Amino acid sequence: MKGSHLLCEGLSAHNKQQLIHLAAQQEARSTALQAVLRGHGLSEEAMAILQSLDLSGARWQVCLIHSADPCSRDLQQRLQHFLWEREQLYLLPLTERQWAIVFAVRGYGAQRELDKRLQDLSARLARFRTHMACGSSQASILHIAASMRDAQEAIAHKFYDITYMGVLSIHSVQGRGFTNGYGEAAPWLNRILGSLATLDWAEYVDAAAAAAAGFKARRVHPEQVKTMTAYCMHHVREYVRRSMSRHPAAAAEPPDFLEVDLSVIGLEALMERVSQYGQVCFRQLLSCREEEVLGVVQEINAYLKEHYQEKLSIKSLAKRFYLHPAYLGQLLRKKNGVSFHIFVHDLRIQEAARLLQEVQYSITEIAERVGYSNYSHFLKEFEKRLHISPMKYRKSIPSLKEHLKP
């Protein structure tokens, strides 16, 4: 109504009154149509409005439009343009991502013409990632809730369609059922939570991709897919919340995954949302983990100083400290300033230099004691750090010169 007053500027009083009356009439029609679509009880006024719209011999249908993204101004304009081209056609916003076109047609020719126009509209809206589906035709506008239910059933089959083209009808999907897939939730959740524990983003992405492929291959019912996804993301959120609760100074808790309307989202867009949500959660976990990192690195470094002479690998170390190898390698490089392997070699050569100041061990024995089974490898690492061979280093120590005389 506010918009109609703005449009009235510059018009005569009579024309203004007419425009306001038309706007009020249109709003009343929209309210009555939305009430019958949702199966709500109708007031006498709403019943009278709908009966005034009913045409003798006309068949009424509902075409649902679902958008993966919130309605933009351009999308709204395209929908309005389609509306202006016909009478007895009403565009009803249901949510920010969902609309219903309610229309009446008379005769087979008119039906074919409108079907063609709807297909054309679908092609024009494809870039907005929209899905469209039509329900069964009804003899009265008062029965369009049945057409709405049919359209909802038909559009569910668009869940696995990534082309965003064409209009489905309830007749075209009859006999194409979905399967029960609730068993897919547990393995997906286990992989997702495992990726959070190890901060393994690649594993998180791969788990989501594998789940999506499984849903599509088995044609799991879209509502089950959405329920399982919401269930998994709820556990992701709880995991992050528990991690953050140990860090009072941490950032705000992660948002609720269900803040997004999942009712009108396809598999592709749903997995995009899972990825975006995961990125938020991983960033928050990393910010919390930073506070724990120093203590973890100190513990790992202490272990390395005790066991540097053993056969060590980043994989075995990661297993011992319950971290992902890639993450552990990055963590040690960031905090120690050098890679894991360089850090271990530094410890070994440091100890070798100390032992070379004593005479009870030969150089070969020293190499073995600090962890080198290959003498050439020991020689290479020693010279790389001290720029002198082990023998020359030993001879350069004044206190040992007397012992080393031939």
Q: Hey, where are the domains in the chain? A: 1-53, 54-175, 182-289, 293-400
Model confidence at 404, in pLDDT bands (50, 70, 90)?
very low
Give dist(CA 320, CA 323) in Å, integer: 8
Q: Which long-range contacts (CB under 8 A, 24 or more apart) does 256-259 make?
A: 257/229, 257/230, 257/233, 258/230
Model confidence at 259, in pLDDT bands (50, 70, 90)?
low
Model confidence at 6, in pLDDT bands (50, 70, 90)?
very low
The confidence score (pLDDT) of residue 85 equals 56
Q: Give domain 293-400's CATH number out of 1.10.10.60, 3.40.50.300, 1.10.10.10, 1.20.120.80.
A: 1.10.10.60
pLDDT digits 0-9 by tens, 114-140: 899 899 999 988 888 888 999 999 999
The confidence score (pLDDT) of residue 395 equals 87
The confidence score (pLDDT) of residue 161 equals 79
pLDDT digits 0-9 by tens, 334-392: 889 999 999 999 999 999 999 998 878 899 999 999 999 999 999 999 999 999 999 99
The confidence score (pLDDT) of residue 96 equals 83
φ, ψ (nearest 5 deg) of residue 92: -120, 120
Fold designation for 54-175: Alpha-Beta Plaits (3.30.70)
Predicted TM-score (pTM) above 0.75: no
φ, ψ (nearest 5 deg) of residue 35: -65, -45
DSSP state of 138: B
